[in-house]
Structure 1
Amino acid sequence: MIYRNKTEAYWEPLLTIARDELGIHSFDPMGKPSADIRMCRVEDIGRALERAYDLGLMVGHTVTRAGCVNGECA
């Protein structure tokens, strides 16, 4: 998987989650295909997904509240 736009706001938080929960320090290919394959425990993947989900909820809530403050809520 190749990620082309690394300037998106979500990039750094997702990399932090991957590093903390899965020991992944970069989403860039390492060169050798075998270096890009990693064993992860299912509970670690679940924890990483849960953190990413929580982050999405928090960002969505923040954006919604900011919109309401600016009078964009119906």
Structure 2
Amino acid sequence: MIYRNKTEAYWEPLLTIARDELGIQSFDPMGKPSADIRMCRVEDIGRALERAYDLGLLVGHTVTNAECAKEKCA
């Protein structure tokens, strides 16, 4: 998988989750295919996905509240 736009706002939080939960330090390829393959426990993957999902909910809620405040929602 090649990531082209590393300046997106979500990039750093996702890399932080990958570091904390999966021990992945970078999404960049290492050069050797065997270096890009790692074993992860299903529980760790689930925890990483849960954190990413929670982050998405938080960002969505924040954006919605900001838009609502702009439009003076009830």
Same fold (TM > 0.5): yes
Partner of 1:12: 12
Secondary structure at 2:17's aligned position in 1?
A: helix
Q: TM-score, normalised by structure 1?
A: 0.96
Runs ≥4 residues deviating over 2 A? none
TM-score normalized with structure 2 length: 0.96
Q: Which amino acid aligns with 1:21?
A: E
User: What residue is the counterpart of 1:44 in the other structure?
Assistant: 44
1: CA distance, partners of 2:72 / 2:6? 29
> Which residue in 2 is equivalent to 1:57?
57
Cα deviation code 1:12-65 (max 9, x no counterpart) = 000000000000000000000000000000000000000000000000000000
What is the root-mean-square deviation in Å for CA atoms of aligned residues?
Answer: 1.3
**Secondary structure of the equivalent of 2:71?**
coil
> Gaps (5+ residues) in structure 2?
none
